[in-house]
């Protein structure tokens, strides 16, 4: 095995396919033999004709092996990330030579795309750490929706990226979110329902009765309000809009969700100021607050937490104030503001548990 040629940015390998690989796919076997690069990256290189078996170029990742073949790899190491670096304030929670963990604010798009050609997290990452230009997708291995806040891990090397992608595919990365949903949820549970494109509205995702990709979300109740619930959701899989779709499927859409939220529902006799705040809440109330994974270099488990952002905290305060106001209206003489505030705040501040 040889090292990458940094001058020409090519990768050279000569090795023999194991005899016990008979009947297995080329892309699968190569990804196991050379795990510094993801299976998706090997599939791309195979399609480009960068791999040969016994001197014959292979262009189909699903090619079945006989075992014992001589494998030669001559591949372009990486493609340059096509995005312009742009200065941006990034909240870096952790960083070393292999990766960084950041706390994404709401309103920030992760990748450039239609309607968002620049000003994205990728642009900011390339300005903050220019070598990310040589890592596919700028090292981003998972995404958050534009209006979802919270923790993301970014790989700084190809090896780290392949390792983290493999963990995501194996469902060993733990991601826990806070959400505020519309409706009074009684207890927690698990949603195990496949998600795919909504056949009636292709820009949306939906729970499908047939087809789709497996999606599993575990949820628990954290705090109950008069007409809303603060829940914590742990993802077993990471499908597009998974939490938003699963909660809406249960009949508890996220507050502020413009796609899956449906008609706004308010508890009876809510003060106008509180109702206006809920109507004007600018995003889905969803925050990726906890992230746990195995470090690609050290092999140690790393766990990170990000506090709830100000708008999320304000939403919770409004819903707590609504309870106080409702109790005061029902029985003013029995209402003790200090006692109620104390009980709620102590529970919230000292609660460090997780799923």
Q: Which domains does the chain have, with CATH numbers?
A: 10-76 (3.10.290.10), 92-169 (3.30.2350.10), 174-293+308-347 (3.30.2350.10)
Residues 6+ away with beta carbon under 8 Å from 328: 335
For the residues 323-338, what does the mean pLDDT come to?
69
For the residues 112-123, what does the mean pLDDT come to?
87
Per-residue pLDDT tens for 13-68? 898 999 999 999 999 999 888 877 778 788 988 998 999 999 999 999 999 999 99
Strand, coil or helix: what is 81? Answer: coil
CB of 38 closer than 8 Å to CB of 159:
no
CA of residue 321 relative to chain centroid, distance: 32
Strands in 159-204 per DSSP E:
174-182, 189-192, 195-197
Q: Is 145 a catalytic residue?
A: yes
pLDDT of residue 332: 58
For the residues 6-17, what does the mean pLDDT come to?
71
Strand, coil or helix: what is 226? Answer: coil
pLDDT of residue 39: 81
Q: Which helix (H) or strand (E) holds 30?
A: helix 26-33
pLDDT > 70? residue 3: no
pLDDT of residue 11: 77
pLDDT > 80? residue 334: no
Tokens of 179: 């959400």
pLDDT > 60? residue 349: no
pLDDT of residue 32: 86
Confidence band, pLDDT 50/70/90 cuts, at residue 77: low
Active-site option among 27, 145, 147, 178: 145
Per-residue pLDDT tens for 319-329? 999 999 988 88
For the residues 185-208, what does the mean pLDDT come to?
91
pLDDT of residue 342: 37
pLDDT of residue 264: 84
Confidence band, pLDDT 50/70/90 cuts, at residue 232: very high
The pTM of this model reads: 0.77
pLDDT of residue 1: 36
pLDDT > 70? residue 341: no
Which one, of 152, 236, 256, lies nearest residue 190 by Cα?
236
For the chain, how many residues are written? 355
Question: Which has more pLDDT, 326 or 347?
Answer: 326
Q: How far apart are the first and last CA of the chain?
A: 43
Confidence band, pLDDT 50/70/90 cuts, at residue 335: very low
Mean pLDDT (the chain) is 87
Helix axes 39-47, 158-169, angle to 10 degrees: 110
CB of 217 closer than 8 Å to CB of 176:
no
pLDDT > 60? residue 337: no
């Amino acid at each position: 095995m040889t090292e990458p040629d940094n001058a020409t940015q090519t990768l050279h390998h000569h090795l023999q396919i194991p005899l016990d690989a008979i009947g297995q796919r080329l892309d699968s076997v190569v990804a196991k033999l050379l795990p510094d690069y993801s299976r998706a990256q090997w599939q791309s290189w195979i399609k480009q004709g960068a791999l040969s078996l016994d001197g014959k170029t292979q262009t189909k990742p699903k090619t079945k092996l006989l075992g014992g073949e001589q494998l030669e790899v001559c591949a372009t190491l990486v493609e340059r990330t096509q995005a312009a670096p742009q200065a941006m304030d990034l909240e870096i929670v952790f960083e070393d030579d292999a990766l960084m963990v950041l706390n994404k604010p709401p309103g920030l798009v992760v990748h450039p795309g239609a309607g968002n050609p620049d000003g994205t997290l990728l642009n900011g990452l390339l300005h903050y750490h220019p070598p990310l230009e040589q890592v596919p997708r700028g090292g981003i291995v998972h995404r958050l929706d534009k209006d979802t806040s919270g923790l993301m891990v970014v790989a700084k090397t190809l090896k780290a990226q392949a390792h983290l992608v493999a963990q995501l595919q194996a469902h060993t990365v733990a991601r826990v979110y806070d959400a505020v949903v519309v409706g009074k949820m009684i207890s927690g549970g698990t949603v195990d329902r496949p998600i795919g494109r909504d056949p009636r509205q292709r820009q949306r995702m939906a729970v499908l009765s047939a087809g789709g990709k497996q999606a599993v979300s575990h949820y628990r109740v954290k705090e109950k309000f008069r007409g809303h619930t603060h829940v914590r959701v742990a993802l077993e899989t990471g499908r597009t809009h998974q939490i938003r779709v699963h909660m809406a499927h249960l009949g508890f859409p996220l507050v502020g969700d413009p796609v899956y939220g449906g008609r706004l529902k308010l508890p009876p006799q809510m003060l106008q100021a509180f109702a206006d705040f809920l109507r004007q809440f600018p995003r889905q109330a969803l925050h990726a607050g906890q992230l746990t994974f195995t470090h690609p270099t050290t092999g140690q488990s790393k766990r990170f937490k990000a506090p709830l952002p100000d708008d999320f905290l304000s939403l919770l305060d409004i819903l707590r104030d609504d309870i106080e106001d409702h109790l005061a209206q029902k029985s003013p003489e029995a209402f003790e503001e200090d006692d109620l505030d104390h009980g709620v705040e102590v529970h919230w501040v000292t609660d460090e548990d997780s799923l």
